[in-house]
Amino acid sequence: MARPQLDLLSPAIRARLVAADQTHLTKGGRTDWTGRDCLHLVRSGWLAQFRTLTDGRRHILRFLMPGDLVGLTAQFTGAAPAPAVALTEARVAAVPVAELIDPHSAAALQQVCAMLALENVRAHETLLSLGCLGADERLAALLLALFERAEARDLASDRGLRLPLTQQDIADALGISPVHTNRMVMKLQRSGLIRLKNEWLQILDGPGLQAVAQWPRPMAWTRRSDQASARLADIQTPRPKAPPQPERRAIKRILVVEDDQFLALHMQTILSSLGFEVLGPAPSLEIGLRMVAETDHLDAAVLDVRLDQDQRVFPVARMLQQRSIPFSFMTGYTDPELDGFEAPVIQKPLETDSVAAVIERLVH
Protein backbone atom coordinates (compact mmCIF):
# COMPACT_ATOMS: atom_id res chain seq x y z
CA MET A 1 0.00 0.00 0.00
CA ALA A 2 2.75 2.45 0.88
CA ARG A 3 5.28 1.79 -1.86
CA PRO A 4 5.20 4.18 -4.84
CA GLN A 5 3.38 2.96 -7.92
CA LEU A 6 6.66 3.21 -9.80
CA ASP A 7 7.79 0.04 -8.01
CA LEU A 8 5.03 -1.95 -9.73
CA LEU A 9 6.51 -1.32 -13.17
CA SER A 10 9.22 -3.32 -14.90
CA PRO A 11 12.84 -2.08 -14.61
CA ALA A 12 12.83 -1.02 -18.28
CA ILE A 13 9.73 1.17 -17.85
CA ARG A 14 11.06 2.63 -14.58
CA ALA A 15 14.33 3.52 -16.29
CA ARG A 16 12.45 5.19 -19.17
CA LEU A 17 10.37 7.30 -16.78
CA VAL A 18 13.34 8.28 -14.62
CA ALA A 19 15.36 9.31 -17.69
CA ALA A 20 12.54 11.40 -19.23
CA ASP A 21 12.71 15.18 -19.56
CA GLN A 22 11.32 16.99 -16.55
CA THR A 23 8.99 19.95 -16.07
CA HIS A 24 9.93 22.20 -13.15
CA LEU A 25 7.12 23.61 -11.01
CA THR A 26 7.63 26.44 -8.56
CA LYS A 27 5.75 26.39 -5.26
CA GLY A 28 2.13 27.30 -5.97
CA GLY A 29 2.44 26.45 -9.65
CA ARG A 30 -0.38 24.46 -11.22
CA THR A 31 -0.21 21.63 -13.71
CA ASP A 32 -3.09 20.33 -15.81
CA TRP A 33 -1.02 17.36 -17.02
CA THR A 34 -0.80 18.45 -20.64
CA GLY A 35 -0.83 15.36 -22.81
CA ARG A 36 -3.57 13.10 -21.52
CA ASP A 37 -1.98 10.17 -23.36
CA CYS A 38 1.06 10.38 -21.05
CA LEU A 39 2.06 8.76 -17.80
CA HIS A 40 3.38 11.42 -15.42
CA LEU A 41 5.95 10.67 -12.73
CA VAL A 42 6.57 12.94 -9.74
CA ARG A 43 10.37 13.10 -9.56
CA SER A 44 10.74 15.43 -6.59
CA GLY A 45 8.62 17.64 -4.33
CA TRP A 46 5.02 17.48 -3.13
CA LEU A 47 1.84 18.24 -5.08
CA ALA A 48 -1.89 18.19 -4.26
CA GLN A 49 -4.30 16.83 -6.85
CA PHE A 50 -7.72 18.48 -6.53
CA ARG A 51 -11.16 19.23 -7.93
CA THR A 52 -13.18 22.42 -7.52
CA LEU A 53 -16.93 23.08 -7.55
CA THR A 54 -18.54 25.89 -9.50
CA ASP A 55 -18.75 27.99 -6.32
CA GLY A 56 -14.99 27.72 -5.81
CA ARG A 57 -14.89 25.12 -3.04
CA ARG A 58 -11.96 22.74 -3.39
CA HIS A 59 -11.44 19.13 -2.39
CA ILE A 60 -7.95 17.61 -2.40
CA LEU A 61 -8.18 14.12 -3.84
CA ARG A 62 -4.65 13.04 -2.89
CA PHE A 63 -1.23 14.35 -2.04
CA LEU A 64 1.52 13.37 -4.46
CA MET A 65 5.09 12.51 -3.43
CA PRO A 66 8.18 11.37 -5.36
CA GLY A 67 7.46 8.05 -7.06
CA ASP A 68 3.74 8.65 -7.57
CA LEU A 69 2.26 8.24 -11.05
CA VAL A 70 -0.59 10.22 -12.58
CA GLY A 71 -2.49 9.55 -15.78
CA LEU A 72 -3.04 5.82 -15.96
CA THR A 73 -6.83 5.92 -15.53
CA ALA A 74 -7.01 8.71 -18.14
CA GLN A 75 -6.05 6.11 -20.76
CA PHE A 76 -9.39 4.40 -20.16
CA THR A 77 -11.68 7.34 -19.37
CA GLY A 78 -10.43 9.70 -22.06
CA ALA A 79 -10.50 12.57 -19.56
CA ALA A 80 -7.45 14.44 -18.35
CA PRO A 81 -6.36 13.72 -14.77
CA ALA A 82 -7.45 16.13 -12.05
CA PRO A 83 -5.16 19.19 -11.94
CA ALA A 84 -2.52 19.55 -9.24
CA VAL A 85 -0.80 22.40 -7.44
CA ALA A 86 2.81 22.25 -6.30
CA LEU A 87 3.11 22.49 -2.51
CA THR A 88 6.90 22.74 -2.82
CA GLU A 89 9.37 23.10 -5.64
CA ALA A 90 8.64 20.02 -7.76
CA ARG A 91 9.72 18.18 -10.88
CA VAL A 92 7.42 16.04 -13.03
CA ALA A 93 8.42 13.80 -15.95
CA ALA A 94 6.02 12.62 -18.66
CA VAL A 95 6.23 9.81 -21.24
CA PRO A 96 3.50 8.73 -23.69
CA VAL A 97 1.88 5.53 -22.45
CA ALA A 98 2.26 3.98 -25.91
CA GLU A 99 6.04 4.12 -25.42
CA LEU A 100 5.85 2.38 -22.05
CA ILE A 101 3.16 -0.29 -22.13
CA ASP A 102 2.73 -2.92 -24.84
CA PRO A 103 -0.99 -3.79 -25.04
CA HIS A 104 -0.06 -7.20 -26.49
CA SER A 105 2.13 -8.12 -23.52
CA ALA A 106 0.48 -10.12 -20.74
CA ALA A 107 3.14 -8.99 -18.26
CA ALA A 108 2.58 -5.33 -19.13
CA LEU A 109 -1.19 -5.66 -18.75
CA GLN A 110 -0.68 -7.39 -15.41
CA GLN A 111 1.34 -4.38 -14.23
CA VAL A 112 -1.44 -2.03 -15.35
CA CYS A 113 -4.06 -4.11 -13.52
CA ALA A 114 -1.96 -4.07 -10.34
CA MET A 115 -1.64 -0.28 -10.48
CA LEU A 116 -5.37 0.20 -11.10
CA ALA A 117 -6.19 -2.20 -8.26
CA LEU A 118 -3.95 -0.24 -5.90
CA GLU A 119 -5.65 3.04 -6.86
CA ASN A 120 -9.02 1.36 -6.24
CA VAL A 121 -7.98 0.19 -2.76
CA ARG A 122 -6.73 3.67 -1.86
CA ALA A 123 -9.98 5.20 -3.10
CA HIS A 124 -11.94 2.79 -0.90
CA GLU A 125 -9.85 3.77 2.14
CA THR A 126 -10.51 7.45 1.43
CA LEU A 127 -14.27 6.84 1.10
CA LEU A 128 -14.29 4.85 4.33
CA SER A 129 -12.48 7.66 6.15
CA LEU A 130 -14.78 10.40 4.84
CA GLY A 131 -17.95 8.36 5.34
CA CYS A 132 -17.40 6.78 8.77
CA LEU A 133 -14.67 8.53 10.76
CA GLY A 134 -15.00 11.60 12.94
CA ALA A 135 -12.87 14.66 12.29
CA ASP A 136 -10.10 13.70 14.73
CA GLU A 137 -10.09 10.10 13.43
CA ARG A 138 -9.95 11.37 9.85
CA LEU A 139 -6.99 13.63 10.64
CA ALA A 140 -5.14 10.80 12.41
CA ALA A 141 -5.72 8.49 9.42
CA LEU A 142 -4.46 11.13 6.98
CA LEU A 143 -1.27 11.77 8.98
CA LEU A 144 -0.58 8.04 9.31
CA ALA A 145 -1.12 7.48 5.58
CA LEU A 146 1.23 10.33 4.67
CA PHE A 147 3.86 9.13 7.11
CA GLU A 148 3.56 5.54 5.87
CA ARG A 149 4.02 6.61 2.26
CA ALA A 150 6.87 9.00 3.07
CA GLU A 151 8.74 6.38 5.07
CA ALA A 152 8.49 3.93 2.16
CA ARG A 153 10.26 6.56 0.07
CA ASP A 154 12.95 7.30 2.70
CA LEU A 155 11.47 10.76 3.28
CA ALA A 156 10.83 10.23 7.00
CA SER A 157 13.18 9.60 9.89
CA ASP A 158 12.78 8.97 13.63
CA ARG A 159 9.01 9.40 13.30
CA GLY A 160 9.60 12.84 11.80
CA LEU A 161 8.48 14.14 8.44
CA ARG A 162 8.55 17.46 6.68
CA LEU A 163 4.87 18.11 5.97
CA PRO A 164 4.53 21.10 3.61
CA LEU A 165 0.77 21.44 4.12
CA THR A 166 -1.20 24.44 5.29
CA GLN A 167 -4.26 24.00 7.50
CA GLN A 168 -6.32 24.88 4.43
CA ASP A 169 -4.70 22.00 2.52
CA ILE A 170 -5.46 19.56 5.34
CA ALA A 171 -9.02 20.90 5.66
CA ASP A 172 -9.60 20.49 1.92
CA ALA A 173 -8.43 16.87 2.14
CA LEU A 174 -10.57 16.05 5.19
CA GLY A 175 -13.74 17.85 4.07
CA ILE A 176 -13.92 20.10 7.14
CA SER A 177 -13.25 23.80 7.78
CA PRO A 178 -9.75 25.15 8.57
CA VAL A 179 -10.98 26.23 12.02
CA HIS A 180 -12.21 22.73 12.79
CA THR A 181 -8.94 21.34 11.42
CA ASN A 182 -6.98 23.51 13.84
CA ARG A 183 -9.08 22.22 16.74
CA MET A 184 -8.40 18.61 15.73
CA VAL A 185 -4.66 19.24 15.39
CA MET A 186 -4.62 20.77 18.86
CA LYS A 187 -6.64 17.84 20.22
CA LEU A 188 -4.13 15.28 18.93
CA GLN A 189 -1.25 17.40 20.24
CA ARG A 190 -2.80 17.77 23.71
CA SER A 191 -3.26 13.99 23.79
CA GLY A 192 0.49 13.59 23.26
CA LEU A 193 0.03 11.77 19.95
CA ILE A 194 1.71 14.19 17.53
CA ARG A 195 3.64 17.41 17.28
CA LEU A 196 2.96 19.54 14.19
CA LYS A 197 4.87 22.80 13.92
CA ASN A 198 6.65 24.76 11.18
CA GLU A 199 5.89 22.16 8.50
CA TRP A 200 7.35 19.38 10.63
CA LEU A 201 5.26 16.41 11.78
CA GLN A 202 6.50 14.19 14.58
CA ILE A 203 4.49 11.17 15.68
CA LEU A 204 5.02 10.87 19.43
CA ASP A 205 2.70 7.92 20.12
CA GLY A 206 2.32 5.73 17.03
CA PRO A 207 0.09 3.01 18.55
CA GLY A 208 -2.10 5.67 20.15
CA LEU A 209 -2.53 7.49 16.84
CA GLN A 210 -3.34 4.18 15.13
CA ALA A 211 -6.05 3.51 17.72
CA VAL A 212 -7.65 6.90 17.06
CA ALA A 213 -7.52 6.37 13.28
CA GLN A 214 -8.89 2.79 13.37
CA TRP A 215 -5.73 2.00 11.41
CA PRO A 216 -5.79 -1.49 9.80
CA ARG A 217 -2.08 -2.15 9.19
CA PRO A 218 1.02 -2.44 11.43
CA MET A 219 3.41 0.48 11.07
CA ALA A 220 7.19 0.45 11.00
CA TRP A 221 7.62 1.78 14.54
CA THR A 222 6.05 -1.43 15.88
CA ARG A 223 9.21 -3.22 14.81
CA ARG A 224 11.38 -0.34 15.96
CA SER A 225 9.71 -0.38 19.39
CA ASP A 226 10.53 -4.07 19.77
CA GLN A 227 14.13 -3.39 18.82
CA ALA A 228 14.27 -0.41 21.18
CA SER A 229 12.90 -2.53 24.04
CA ALA A 230 15.54 -5.17 23.37
CA ARG A 231 18.28 -2.52 23.39
CA LEU A 232 16.87 -1.03 26.61
CA ALA A 233 16.86 -4.43 28.30
CA ASP A 234 20.40 -4.97 27.13
CA ILE A 235 21.46 -1.63 28.56
CA GLN A 236 19.76 -2.28 31.89
CA THR A 237 21.47 -5.68 32.35
CA PRO A 238 24.60 -5.20 34.49
CA ARG A 239 27.77 -6.13 32.68
CA PRO A 240 31.39 -6.16 33.84
CA LYS A 241 33.21 -3.06 32.76
CA ALA A 242 35.70 -3.56 29.96
CA PRO A 243 38.93 -1.61 29.85
CA PRO A 244 38.62 1.61 27.84
CA GLN A 245 39.43 1.26 24.16
CA PRO A 246 40.36 3.98 21.69
CA GLU A 247 37.42 5.06 19.56
CA ARG A 248 37.39 3.40 16.17
CA ARG A 249 35.06 4.11 13.29
CA ALA A 250 35.56 1.44 10.69
CA ILE A 251 32.63 2.63 8.57
CA LYS A 252 33.23 5.83 6.63
CA ARG A 253 30.48 8.45 6.69
CA ILE A 254 29.59 10.13 3.40
CA LEU A 255 27.28 13.14 3.13
CA VAL A 256 25.10 13.35 0.03
CA VAL A 257 23.55 16.65 -1.09
CA GLU A 258 21.05 16.06 -3.92
CA ASP A 259 17.63 17.62 -4.48
CA ASP A 260 16.36 15.00 -6.94
CA GLN A 261 14.80 12.26 -4.83
CA PHE A 262 15.48 9.46 -7.29
CA LEU A 263 19.12 10.36 -7.89
CA ALA A 264 19.59 10.79 -4.13
CA LEU A 265 18.21 7.32 -3.43
CA HIS A 266 20.28 5.87 -6.29
CA MET A 267 23.46 7.40 -4.85
CA GLN A 268 22.47 6.23 -1.37
CA THR A 269 22.03 2.68 -2.67
CA ILE A 270 25.43 2.71 -4.41
CA LEU A 271 27.28 4.05 -1.37
CA SER A 272 25.55 1.63 1.00
CA SER A 273 26.44 -1.29 -1.27
CA LEU A 274 30.08 -0.16 -1.08
CA GLY A 275 29.97 -0.31 2.73
CA PHE A 276 29.66 3.40 3.55
CA GLU A 277 27.28 5.08 5.98
CA VAL A 278 25.23 7.70 4.15
CA LEU A 279 24.25 10.98 5.82
CA GLY A 280 21.23 12.67 4.31
CA PRO A 281 20.62 12.85 1.48
CA ALA A 282 20.24 16.58 2.08
CA PRO A 283 17.63 17.91 -0.41
CA SER A 284 18.60 21.60 -0.28
CA LEU A 285 21.48 24.00 0.18
CA GLU A 286 20.20 25.07 3.61
CA ILE A 287 19.99 21.52 4.93
CA GLY A 288 23.37 20.63 3.44
CA LEU A 289 25.03 23.55 5.23
CA ARG A 290 23.33 22.63 8.50
CA MET A 291 24.39 18.99 8.27
CA VAL A 292 28.03 19.90 7.64
CA ALA A 293 28.00 22.33 10.55
CA GLU A 294 26.34 19.90 12.98
CA THR A 295 28.16 16.67 12.05
CA ASP A 296 31.30 15.95 14.09
CA HIS A 297 32.64 12.97 12.15
CA LEU A 298 32.37 13.28 8.39
CA ASP A 299 34.78 11.49 6.05
CA ALA A 300 33.68 12.79 2.63
CA ALA A 301 30.79 14.31 0.72
CA VAL A 302 29.14 14.05 -2.70
CA LEU A 303 27.52 17.29 -3.85
CA ASP A 304 25.02 17.89 -6.65
CA VAL A 305 26.04 21.15 -8.29
CA ARG A 306 22.65 22.53 -9.29
CA LEU A 307 19.93 22.57 -6.64
CA ASP A 308 16.37 23.85 -6.61
CA GLN A 309 15.60 27.58 -6.86
CA ASP A 310 18.67 28.06 -9.12
CA GLN A 311 21.00 27.57 -6.17
CA ARG A 312 24.54 26.19 -6.43
CA VAL A 313 26.09 23.88 -3.86
CA PHE A 314 29.35 25.84 -3.65
CA PRO A 315 28.75 27.28 -0.13
CA VAL A 316 28.69 23.68 1.15
CA ALA A 317 31.89 22.95 -0.77
CA ARG A 318 33.65 25.95 0.78
CA MET A 319 32.55 24.90 4.28
CA LEU A 320 33.95 21.42 3.63
CA GLN A 321 37.22 22.94 2.43
CA GLN A 322 37.50 24.93 5.66
CA ARG A 323 37.14 21.69 7.63
CA SER A 324 39.55 19.79 5.32
CA ILE A 325 36.85 17.26 4.39
CA PRO A 326 37.27 15.82 0.88
CA PHE A 327 34.33 16.00 -1.49
CA SER A 328 33.22 15.35 -5.04
CA PHE A 329 30.75 17.12 -7.25
CA MET A 330 28.19 15.30 -9.37
CA THR A 331 26.62 16.92 -12.39
CA GLY A 332 25.49 16.37 -15.94
CA TYR A 333 26.61 19.83 -17.04
CA THR A 334 29.79 21.85 -17.35
CA ASP A 335 30.32 24.66 -14.86
CA PRO A 336 33.38 26.93 -14.88
CA GLU A 337 33.24 27.37 -11.10
CA LEU A 338 34.15 23.72 -10.62
CA ASP A 339 37.73 24.43 -11.69
CA GLY A 340 38.30 26.59 -8.61
CA PHE A 341 37.77 23.69 -6.21
CA GLU A 342 40.06 21.03 -7.72
CA ALA A 343 37.57 18.35 -6.68
CA PRO A 344 36.75 15.22 -8.69
CA VAL A 345 33.48 15.17 -10.63
CA ILE A 346 31.03 12.27 -10.94
CA GLN A 347 29.15 12.53 -14.20
CA LYS A 348 25.41 11.91 -14.40
CA PRO A 349 23.78 9.49 -15.07
CA LEU A 350 25.38 7.73 -12.11
CA GLU A 351 27.26 4.48 -12.59
CA THR A 352 28.42 2.31 -9.71
CA ASP A 353 31.98 1.86 -11.00
CA SER A 354 32.60 5.58 -11.53
CA VAL A 355 31.11 6.45 -8.12
CA ALA A 356 33.21 3.78 -6.41
CA ALA A 357 36.41 5.00 -8.09
CA VAL A 358 35.87 8.61 -7.00
CA ILE A 359 34.83 7.76 -3.43
CA GLU A 360 37.87 5.52 -2.95
CA ARG A 361 40.07 8.45 -3.95
CA LEU A 362 38.33 10.66 -1.40
CA VAL A 363 38.46 8.42 1.67
CA HIS A 364 41.89 6.79 1.19
For 124-183, the pLDDT digits (tens) are 888 888 888 899 999 999 999 999 888 888 777 665 788 899 999 999 999 999 999 999
**Lowest-confidence segment of 136-140, 235-239, 339-343 by average pLDDT:** 235-239
3-state secondary structure of 238: coil
- Are 71 and 40 spatial neighbours (Cβ–Cβ below 8 Å)? yes
Whether 48 contacts 11, CB under 8 Å: no
Q: How confident is the model at residue 339 (pLDDT cuts 50, 70, 90)?
A: confident
Residue 46 has pLDDT above 70, yes or no: yes
Q: Is the pLDDT of residue 310 over 50?
A: yes
Per residue in 316-334, pLDDT tens? 999 998 888 999 998 877 7
Q: Under a CB-based contact definition with an 8 Å cutoff, are residues 344 and 319 in contact?
A: no
Instruction: Using pLDDT thresholds of 50, 70 and 90, give the confidence band for residue 234.
Output: very low
| Residue with more model confidence, 267 or 30 | 30
Quick one: pLDDT at residue 12? Answer: 80
Predicted local distance difference test score (pLDDT) of residue 51: 93
d(CA 145, CA 140): 9
Residue spans of alpha helices (H) in the chain: 11-19, 74-77, 106-132, 135-152, 167-174, 178-190, 206-213, 220-236, 261-273, 285-294, 314-322, 352-363
**pLDDT over threshold 70, residue 220:** no
Has residue 210 got a pLDDT over 80? yes
Average pLDDT over residues 18-42: 86
Please report, for residues 97, 190, 200, 231, the alpha-carbon distance to residue 164 in angstroms, rounded to integers and kept in the order given. 30, 22, 8, 34
The answer on pLDDT for 101 being more than 70 is: yes
Cis peptide bond N-terminal to 349, omega within 30 = yes
pLDDT at 7 over 80: no
pLDDT of res. 236: 41
- pLDDT of residue 363 exceeding 90, the answer is no
pLDDT band at 250 (very low <50, low <70, confident <90, very high): low
Task: Return d(Cα 275, Cα 122) in angstroms, integer.
Answer: 37
Compute CA 272 distance to the chain's CA centroid, rounded to the nearest angstrom: 18
- Report the largest interatomic distance among the alpha carbons of the chain, rounded to a whole angstrom: 75
Q: CB within 8 A of 268, min separation 6: which ones?
A: 154, 256, 278, 281
pLDDT at residue 185, rounded to an integer: 93
Better pLDDT: 236 or 282: 282
DSSP-assigned beta bridge partners for residue 257: 282, 303
Alpha-carbon radius of gyration of the chain? 23
- Give the pLDDT of residue 245: 46
Cα(292)–Cα(5) distance, rounded to whole angstroms? 34
Question: 255 - beta bridge partners?
Answer: 279, 301
**Mean of pLDDT over the chain:** 82
Average pLDDT over residues 276-292: 86
Query: Residue 307: which of 317, 298, 297 has the closest Cα?
Result: 317
State the average pLDDT over residues 86-94. 90
